[in-house]
């Protein structure tokens, strides 16, 4: 009887040890290969999509639907995530053993809808640093003057509950032909420059032209205050970055814009330099896309702070600064999309949204519009474009392009 108990105990211990070992192998990504009759290492592909429920194809073969995990033997795979009515997401990914690789697809509609936001004309739309406001002029045509619509207007891009948008509001009146305007760093003020002077306007109230105060004599003080505010924002965003990277951003970069969540940096280099490897500890499951750590002057890149990865985006002159923007009106054709994982590139007759590493470029709009006036807003479900819908006899207006 005693021997039987000992035997049962030993068998139990053996079974527990074996099950524990097999469980640990499974957790580390090992799977049983029936052809080789042994456990082989795999990597885990985590698939996500917005909207979810999309098909996942691996090397052209349907495997599952998002959101799901796939165990794959180490190697390079062509991954496609697609859903009816949306543009497919494609990327070549490297899967490593015992490492989680993520395929996170943000899908855009094949046939986006347009809806007008302005109706009396829209001239020189200018977006604030945080993409929450756009300022534009309504021209002083006879009809607009008679209807008391001419002047400078601001539209907030933040959606109200239930999906409703805020109505544009006029912040000053008058004929603003040949005038320019820029937002303050915090977006609460606009500097309006006309032939008669320079005026600082509050974006939250109406400022009649009869009561505008010309600050041309003290404009240097305003620029100095804005420069200090921008420098403080830049210092806050770069706090904690490795010294070699901070040195590059400070001395070798012409333009810098941080993603909305401040985890990635879009920049244009003004000098050849190199981002040394190992600035941060390697992150398991980091992007496997091709890097570009040798920087060339005049080219635009994205640096991923969390993963210590640097990606080439374009050599075109597409990027304008938000940092130190007070010398001119910003007019950029390359901007961050609100997901912080995508960039919007406005090109003649088309608008492209790409992954932050420059891959998976998707043409979300093709048609007539006034390039580069395509603007990402706070919500990722739409962008704004300036167009007259191809009619040369009509004024251009802002339209909302639905992406979801």
Each residue's pLDDT tens digit, 238-254: 999 999 999 999 999 98
Q: Is residue 16 part of a domain?
A: yes
C-alpha 48: how far from chain center: 18
Of 106, 141, 168, the last residue of a domain is 106
Q: Is residue 362 part of a domain?
A: no
pLDDT higher at 162 or 128: 128
Q: Both 174 and 215 in a single domain?
A: yes
User: What is residue 41's predicted lDDT score, i.e. its pLDDT?
Assistant: 65
In whole angstroms, what is the distance from residue 155 CA to residue 127 CA? 10
Q: Both 188 and 227 in a single domain?
A: yes
User: What is residue 321's predicted lDDT score, i.e. its pLDDT?
Assistant: 42
Q: Both 153 and 63 in a single domain?
A: no
Contact status, residue 91 vs residue 45, Cβ threshold 8 Å? no
User: What is residue 43's predicted lDDT score, i.e. its pLDDT?
Assistant: 83
Q: Is residue 183 part of a domain?
A: yes
Number of domains the chain is built from: 2
pLDDT at 164 over 70: no
User: What is residue 10's predicted lDDT score, i.e. its pLDDT?
Assistant: 59
Global pTM? 0.85
User: What is residue 166's predicted lDDT score, i.e. its pLDDT?
Assistant: 74
What mean pLDDT comes out for the span 288-296?
92
Spell out the alpha helix ranges (H) of 65-190.
142-146
What mean pLDDT comes out for the span 383-392?
90
Q: Both 80 and 149 in a single domain?
A: no
Q: Is residue 356 part of a domain?
A: no
In whole angstroms, what is the distance from residue 199 CA to residue 181 CA? 9
Q: Is residue 354 part of a domain?
A: no
Q: Is residue 291 part of a domain?
A: no
User: What is residue 27's predicted lDDT score, i.e. its pLDDT?
Assistant: 55
pLDDT at 330 over 50: no
Q: Both 65 and 89 in a single domain?
A: yes
User: What is residue 3's predicted lDDT score, i.e. its pLDDT?
Assistant: 65
Each residue's pLDDT tens digit, 30-68: 554 555 545 556 788 999 999 999 999 999 999 999 988
pLDDT at 85 over 70: yes
In whole angstroms, what is the distance from residue 324 CA to residue 84 CA? 44
Each residue's pLDDT tens digit, 353-377: 999 999 999 999 999 999 899 999 9
The pLDDT-based confidence of 172 (bands split at 50, 70, 90) is very high
In whole angstroms, what is the distance from residue 331 CA to residue 244 CA? 30
The residues, ordered by sequence, that sit 6+ positions from 77 with a Cβ below 8 Å of its Cβ are 45, 58, 59, 92, 93, 94, 95
pLDDT higher at 217 or 31: 217
Over the chain, what is the mean pLDDT? 86
Q: Both 19 and 75 in a single domain?
A: yes
pLDDT at 170 over 90: yes
Output b/e per residue, 185-200; b: 16+ Cβ within 10 A.
Answer: bebebbbbbbeeebbb
The pLDDT-based confidence of 5 (bands split at 50, 70, 90) is low
What mean pLDDT comes out for the span 65-72?
89
Each residue's pLDDT tens digit, 13-40: 555 555 555 555 555 555 545 555 455 5
Of 74, 106, 138, the last residue of a domain is 106
What's the half-sphere exposure (Cβ side, CA atoms, 13 Å) at 268?
17
What mean pLDDT comes out for the span 257-273?
94
Q: Both 83 and 127 in a single domain?
A: no
What mean pLDDT comes out for the span 105-128?
93
What mean pLDDT comes out for the span 139-145?
94
Domain boundaries, position 79: 2-106
The pLDDT-based confidence of 312 (bands split at 50, 70, 90) is very high
User: What is residue 325's predicted lDDT score, i.e. its pLDDT?
Assistant: 41
What's phi and psi for 156, nearest 5 deg? -90, 135
Q: Both 121 and 169 in a single domain?
A: yes
User: What is residue 12's predicted lDDT score, i.e. its pLDDT?
Assistant: 66
* Residue 193, phi-psi category: left (phi > 0), alpha (psi -120 to 50), beta (remainder): beta
Q: Range with the lowest mean pLDDT among 36-45, 87-96, 202-211, 221-230?
A: 36-45
For the record, the structure tokens of 273 come out as 């330099």
Of 106, 132, 164, the last residue of a domain is 106
Q: Range with the lowest mean pLDDT among 94-103, 106-115, 238-247?
A: 94-103
């Amino acid at each position: 009887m005693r021997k039987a108990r000992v035997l049962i105990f030993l068998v139990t211990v053996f079974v527990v040890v074996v099950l524990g070992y097999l469980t640990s192998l499974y957790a580390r990504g090992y799977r049983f290969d029936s052809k080789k009759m042994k456990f082989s290492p795999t990597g885990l592909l985590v698939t996500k999509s917005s909207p979810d429920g999309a098909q996942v194809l691996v090397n052209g073969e349907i495997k599952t639907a998002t959101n799901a995990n796939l165990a794959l033997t180490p190697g390079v795979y062509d991954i496609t995530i697609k859903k009816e009515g949306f543009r497919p997401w494609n990327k070549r990914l490297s899967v490593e053993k015992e490492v989680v690789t993520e395929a996170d697809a943000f899908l855009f509609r094949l046939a986006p809808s347009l809806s007008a936001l302005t109706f009396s004309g829209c001239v020189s739309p200018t977006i604030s640093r945080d993409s929450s406001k756009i300022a534009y002029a309504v021209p002083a045509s006879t009809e607009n003057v008679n209807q008391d619509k001419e002047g400078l207007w601001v539209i907030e891009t933040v959606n109200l509950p239930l999906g409703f948008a805020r109505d544009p509001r006029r912040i000053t009146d008058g004929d603003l032909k040949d005038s320019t305007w820029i937002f303050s760093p915090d977006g609460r003020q606009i500097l309006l420059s006309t032939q008669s002077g320079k005026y600082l306007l509050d974006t939250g109230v109406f400022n009649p032209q009869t009561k505008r105060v010309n600050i041309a004599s003290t404009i240097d003080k305003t620029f100095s205050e804005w420069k200090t505010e921008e420098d403080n924002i830049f210092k806050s965003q770069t706090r904690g970055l490795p010294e070699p990277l901070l040195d590059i951003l400070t001395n070798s970069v012409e333009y810098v814009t941080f993603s909305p969540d401040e985890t990635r940096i879009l920049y244009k280099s003004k000098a050849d330099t190199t981002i040394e490897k190992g600035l941060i500890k390697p992150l398991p499951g980091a992007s496997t896309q091709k890097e570009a750590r040798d920087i060339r002057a005049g080219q635009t890149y994205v640096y991923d702070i969390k993963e210590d990865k640097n990606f080439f985006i374009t050599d075109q002159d597409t990027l304008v600064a938000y940092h130190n923007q007070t010398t001119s009106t910003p007019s950029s054709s390359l901007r961050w999309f609100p997901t912080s994982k995508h960039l919007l590139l406005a090109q003649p007759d088309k608008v492209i949204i790409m992954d932050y590493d420059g891959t998976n470029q998707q043409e979300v709009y093709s048609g007539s519009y006034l390039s580069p006036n395509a603007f990402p807003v706070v919500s990722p479900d739409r962008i704004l474009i300036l167009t007259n819908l191809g009619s040369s006899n009509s004024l251009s207006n802002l339209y909302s392009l639905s992406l979801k």
